[in-house]
Amino acid sequence: MNIELINTGSELMLGRVLNTHQQWICAQFADLGYVVTRQIAVPDTGPAIQEALRDSLTRADLVVTTGGLGPTSDDLTREFIAQMFGKKLFVDQSALAHIEQFFAQRKRIAPEKTKVQALVPEGAIVLQNAFGTAPGLVMQLDSNPFRSGHKALIVMLPGPPRELRPMFRDQVAPLLGKYFPRESEFVCRTLKSTGLGESYVEEKLEVPLEALTKAGLELGYCARVGEVDVRIVTRGPGAVDLANKAEAEIRERLGSYIFGTGDDSLEKIIVQLLTDRKETVSFAESCTGGHIANRITNVSGASAIFMAGFVTYSNEAKQRLLGVNPTTLETCGAVSELTAREMAQGCRERNQTDYAIAVTGIAGPTGGSEDKPVGTVFIALASAKGTFAEHHVNRYERETFKFVVSQQALDLLRRKILATKQIAT
């Protein structure tokens, strides 16, 4: 089954707005067991919309369009699509009543312009808009003029996300099951790893998963900075079983490099782990400049586990706020293992937390030396069991460097928390 998504809007083509419809609609389809085979964005002119739809209909069983159903002069989708199939538009009384009621509820008179939204191509199904005035439209083509011997369904949705999303969930999703019953099972899972490069992850999995891949497992890799996602897709009878086998094998091979699934982030995992254990953490950041604290406090509920953070950019602040020994700074330098250790210990003592993480490094672009090139970082973790330190060289531009260091620091913390658990049990 081929599904295509056409997003209309000149603001998309000029890069003024991010196309959040694509991700949202594709994710909805995937969760329902369908895969969008192509997505297209075109300006909101009549010819561009018609050309894109004609192209899509040469391939697709289902085409979903977004945008262009509103009342203004650049809302052309309804009219130009109806025209393509020689369908007349006429006023749908229920849609018109909805528009009038919508304005009446807001104690305003419906502007004449808005009534164009009650126009519906003959034979189309009207999708009521619970959060706006433009209804969605569904056109069924018993014979697709651009792909002989095939039927097609065209679903037109309004552009505003707050209108489109409930309409898709409540009205389009149920239609899908009716028009395109799934022949088989479908499973899609994502395992998230950190600490290994993309090619290394693939090398580790290729041979062990060969048999499963031959049995129909689809494997995908998505490498972000400091993170590699492994995606498992299976279809047909036995899909769940195959996915389970694949997941078990991947977990076996990647072990603790896997930190989560789906939408997990390291910060979310850490807030969860510490909350479960009723433990706390504090941070002493030099080169990350508050980035680690910022990530942790993006998680709702962080206040239960995060007490305080220091951003000690200057040497003076490292001494005054964290008690780093001036001799250490003089003899080893601010970017050194010993400084990182003293920062972590000082941070933990002052904040009375179970864990303290400290980072000191050279974000660049300037400040490097032969011994300690740009990208050098020392990360230390202090806990009741002592202080542990790591050294990395991360050659990235400034903001990416900060993110990578925060991944390394949060992953070190995650591993230490998990290791402590293992000893306790």
CB atoms within 10 A of CB 232: 23
25 within 8 A of 36, measured Cβ to Cβ: yes
Report if residue 131 touches a copy of itself, rule: CB under 8 A: yes
Say how many Å lie between the first and final Cα of the chain, rounded: 51
For residue 152, report the phi and psi dihedrals to the nearest 5 degrees: -155, 155
Report if residue 22 touches a copy of itself, rule: CB under 8 A: yes
**Cβ nearer to a copy of itself, comparing 312 with 383:** 312
Question: How many residues interact with a copy of itself (rule CB under 8 A)?
Answer: 105
Site for a copy of itself in 234-293 (CB under 8 A): 283, 285, 288-293
Binding part of the chain for a copy of itself, among 78-86, 237-245, 383-391, 397-405 by CB under 8 A, reads 397-405
Exactly one of 8, 25, 63, 335 binds a copy of itself (CB under 8 A); that residue is 25
Report if residue 11 touches a copy of itself, rule: CB under 8 A: yes
Exactly one of 310, 342, 345, 407 binds a copy of itself (CB under 8 A); that residue is 310
Q: Minimal distance in Å, beta carbon 385 to a copy of itself?
A: 24
Check whether the bond before 365 is cis (ω within 30° of 0): yes
**Cβ nearer to a copy of itself, comparing 30 with 125:** 30
CA atoms within 13 A on the CB side of 223: 8
Helix (H) or strand (E) holding 152: strand 152-157
**Cβ nearer to a copy of itself, comparing 27 with 419:** 27
Report if residue 8 touches a copy of itself, rule: CB under 8 A: no
**Cβ nearer to a copy of itself, comparing 162 with 182:** 162
Exactly one of 399, 418, 419, 421 binds a copy of itself (CB under 8 A); that residue is 399
Q: Which DSSP string do the residues of 20-50 spell out, in sequence order? A: HHHHHHHHHHHHTT----EEEEE-S-HHHHH
Binding part of the chain for a copy of itself, among 87-95, 169-177, 241-249, 299-307 by CB under 8 A, reads 299-307
Q: Which amino acid is at 343?
A: M
86 within 8 A of 58, measured Cβ to Cβ: no
Closest C-alpha to 102, from 91, 114, 90: 114
Q: Minimal distance in Å, beta carbon 169 to a copy of itself?
A: 13
How far is it, in rounded angstroms, from Cα 157 to Cα 168?
8
Binding part of the chain for a copy of itself, among 12-20, 79-87, 236-244, 247-255 by CB under 8 A, reads 12-20
- The three-class DSSP label of residue 425 is coil
CA atoms within 13 A on the CB side of 351: 28
Exactly one of 104, 393, 418, 419 binds a copy of itself (CB under 8 A); that residue is 393
Q: Minimal distance in Å, beta carbon 136 to a copy of itself?
A: 17
Q: Please report how the helices 46-57 and 77-84 are oriented relative to each other, as an axis angle in degrees rounded to 10.
A: 50
Draw the binding track, 333-372, toward a copy of itself (x: CB under 8 A; -: no contact).
------------------x-----------xxxx------
**Cβ nearer to a copy of itself, comparing 297 with 325:** 297
Exactly one of 313, 323, 325, 390 binds a copy of itself (CB under 8 A); that residue is 313
Q: Minimal distance in Å, beta carbon 405 to a copy of itself?
A: 12
How far is it, in rounded angstroms, from Cα 9 to Cα 43?
5
Site for a copy of itself in 36-95 (CB under 8 A): 36-43, 48, 52, 55, 70-74
For 204-212, the CB contacts below 8 A with 24+ separation are: 204/253, 204/254, 205/230, 205/249, 205/250, 205/253, 205/254, 208/249, 208/252, 208/253, 209/246, 209/249, 209/250, 212/242, 212/245, 212/246, 212/249
CA atoms within 13 A on the CB side of 81: 34
Binding part of the chain for a copy of itself, among 142-150, 168-176, 296-304, 382-390 by CB under 8 A, reads 296-304
Site for a copy of itself in 149-208 (CB under 8 A): 160, 162, 188, 190, 197-200, 202-203, 206
Q: Minimal distance in Å, beta carbon 332 to a copy of itself?
A: 19
Exactly one of 83, 272, 275, 297 binds a copy of itself (CB under 8 A); that residue is 297
Provide the CA 38 distance to its chain's centre, in angstroms: 19
Report if residue 214 touches a copy of itself, rule: CB under 8 A: no
